[in-house]
């Protein structure tokens, strides 16, 4: 088993090198020099093996807060990979991504865009629910760069394992986590962007932002724009199938 390490130094984060593969001696040296956590990535990259290994991940402290690791879901030959931010309350309890209110919006938008849900692998850039208590509720809290960095090896392993002709980044946390902090979903949504994570990469809003729209009209309009972004994915899938 290789040790994929999130090396938590400012330089590392600024250089956007959140994870590096090290051999055991490099790892122990890095551990002495800096704060390092290891995500136990299995040698054999299969989704079941990754899911099992991720269940025991303690690469950052979020494992103490979440009920369980919420790993990605879908087929290894899925043509589309969708990356969100982190599981929400429902996802944390069920152990499955996008099964709560945001997932319902996503499913409706996929139907409206003509994308078969069976062709989609859904995952998150952070795989534990980060929350803070607000009365009896668990209120979503945005993951910080260290938590995103610690979880990165899992996403990298999913990217290597899933077919993914297209990756869709849902919301600013996923988009900036992959494309860098300068990326602005507000300006670049719905555009094809260059990245080595997939042949085609596009960022759009997070479906939960549609739920937060202030009234019915703006919610409808936000949904329309979200579906329009996803239709670009559907067109590419059709064209690539025909080619």
What residues between 114 and 153 interact with ligand URA by CB under 6 A?
A: 124
CA–CA separation, 61 and 6 (whole Å): 13
- Interface pick for ligand URA out of 39, 53, 57, 102 (rule CB under 6 A): 102
What residues between 207 and 236 interact with ligand URA by CB under 6 A?
A: 208
Binding span for ligand URA by CB under 6 A among 19-27, 29-37, 56-64, 99-107 = 99-107
Please give the sequence-ordered ranges of beta strands (E in DSSP) within 35-188, or none if there are none: 36-39, 80-84, 120-124, 131-134, 137-140, 166-170
- Interface pick for ligand URA out of 88, 143, 153, 177 (rule CB under 6 A): 88
Take residue 46 and report the two structure tokens written for it.
């299969």
CB atoms within 10 A of CB 218: 12
Are 102 and 89 spatial neighbours (Cβ–Cβ below 8 Å)? Answer: no
Binding span for ligand URA by CB under 6 A among 1-9, 85-93, 156-164, 176-184 = 85-93
Question: Tokens 């309890």 appear where?
Answer: 93
Minimum Å gap between C-beta 206 and ligand URA is 6
Q: For residues 36 and 83, which CB has a smaller minimum distance to ligand URA in the complex? A: 83
Minimum Å gap between C-beta 67 and ligand URA is 13
Closest CA to 83 of 6, 197, 5: 197
Work out whether 158 is an interface residue with ligand URA (CB under 6 A): no
Work out whether 69 is an interface residue with ligand URA (CB under 6 A): no
CB neighbour list of residue 215: distance below 8 Å, 6 or more residues apart: none
Work out whether 100 is an interface residue with ligand URA (CB under 6 A): yes
- Interface pick for ligand URA out of 4, 27, 98, 121 (rule CB under 6 A): 98
Binding span for ligand URA by CB under 6 A among 31-39, 72-80, 95-103, 177-185 = 95-103
Are 72 and 156 spatial neighbours (Cβ–Cβ below 8 Å)? Answer: no
Work out whether 97 is an interface residue with ligand URA (CB under 6 A): yes
SS (H, E, C) 167-190: EEEECHHHHHHHHCCCCCHHHHCC
Residues within the interface to ligand URA (CB under 6 A)? 84-88, 91, 97-98, 100, 102-103, 124, 208
């Amino acid at each position: 088993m290789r040790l994929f390490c999130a090396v938590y130094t400012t330089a590392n984060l600024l250089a956007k090198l959140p994870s590096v593969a090290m051999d055991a001696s490099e790892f122990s040296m890095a551990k002495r020099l800096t704060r390092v956590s290891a995500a136990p990535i299995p040698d054999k990259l299969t989704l079941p093996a990754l899911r099992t290994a991720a269940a025991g991940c303690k690469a950052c402290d979020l494992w103490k807060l979440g009920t369980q690791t919420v790993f990605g879901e879908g087929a290894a030959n899925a043509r589309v990979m969708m990356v969100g931010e982190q599981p929400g309350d429902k996802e944390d309890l069920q152990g499955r991504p996008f099964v709560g209110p945001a997932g319902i919006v996503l499913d409706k938008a996929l139907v409206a865009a003509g994308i078969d849900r069976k062709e989609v692998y859904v995952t998150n850039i952070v795989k534990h629910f980060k929350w803070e208590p607000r009365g009896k509720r668990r209120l979503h809290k945005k993951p910080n760069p260290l938590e995103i960095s610690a979880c990165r090896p899992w996403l990298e392993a999913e990217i290597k394992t899933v077919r993914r002709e297209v990756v869709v980044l849902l919301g600013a946390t996923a988009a900036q986590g992959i494309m860098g902090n300068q990326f602005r979903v507000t300006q670049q949504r719905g555009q094809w962007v260059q990245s080595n994570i997939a042949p085609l990469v596009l960022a759009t809003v997070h479906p939960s932002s549609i739920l937060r729209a202030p009234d019915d009209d703006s919610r409808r309009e936000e949904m329309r724009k979200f579906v329009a972004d996803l239709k670009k994915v559907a067109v590419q899938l059709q064209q690539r199938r025909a080619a």
